[in-house]
Amino acid sequence: MKPNSNSNTCANCDSQLVSKVEKGHAYLVCEGCKFWWNDKLLAQCTKARRPRPECHLLSLSYEPNGTDHHDLVLGLGSFRFRSDTYYYELDGPRDVYKSIQLMLESWLEDITRAAPSDTVILPHDFSDQYTGWLKCTLSEDDKWTLVPGWSDIEGWSFNPSDYREAAAKVNDFNAVDDSISYEATTSELRSDIESSIRALSELRDCESR
Ligand SMILES: [Zn+2]
């Protein structure tokens, strides 16, 4: 596949893309979020982009593109990670919007009821062979530290709308990169999660018109 020289901006984070060839395939690699694009995927995700929620630090945006894949974007500071809503579609409500909404409402509850020195772990990426999580630790003085990472718990083994039992079993959390760590207060995180819930609801209204 030949990279499209016109599409040189990442659909996750707007950074510049660099052409690379790996095992005979051409990719456009993002210097910011490190995502490896091919032509078709970049065009599809660029076309499906939606305005991202206003946030201090954290956002989760649904960008439906008709495939249930590569359509959910986690923002954490300058970090971006794109994943699939395939397992959200299979969740109890059988409705991606509702499934994401219920998960975000649980995030909000987990953040709100945490006590100083608690750690909560919030899922965002449901893949066949692993899951992506945010490990959030509250200090004694109301500062959260958020670190993105992975667990080998498979995305099919629990539902986004009902993740707490699985979260309690994550004992193999691996940080994406030791240098990626962000801080926020409880009220900033609450406000961010509420913004993502609001943006999701607005998107649903807009798409159903
Ligand atoms: Zn990027």
Q: Most distant CA pair in the chain: distance in Å?
A: 53
Kindly report the average pLDDT of the chain as a whole number.
Answer: 94
Residue 174 has pLDDT above 90, yes or no: yes
Spatial distance between the Cα atoms of 199 and 33, rounded to a whole number of angstroms: 23
Going from the Cα of 175 to the center of ligand 1, the distance in angstroms, rounded, reads 19
CA 167 to chain centre: 16
Q: What's the DSSP call for residue 97? A: H
Task: Break the chain into its structural domains and give their ranges.
Answer: 1-47, 51-207
Distance between start and end Cα atoms, the chain: 37
Residue 208 has pLDDT above 90, yes or no: no
Going from the Cα of 37 to the center of ligand 1, the distance in angstroms, rounded, reads 9
Torsion angle of C-alpha atoms 203, 163, 181, 202, degrees rounded to 10: 10
The verdict on pTM exceeding 0.85 is yes
Residue 198 has pLDDT above 70, yes or no: yes
Cβ atoms of 135 and 110 within 8 Å: the answer is no
Going from the Cα of 18 to the center of ligand 1, the distance in angstroms, rounded, reads 11
User: Could you list which residues have their CB under 5 Å from ion ligand 1?
Assistant: 10, 12-13, 15, 30, 32-33
What is the CATH architecture assignment of 51-207?
2-Layer Sandwich (3.30)
Going from the Cα of 35 to the center of ligand 1, the distance in angstroms, rounded, reads 6
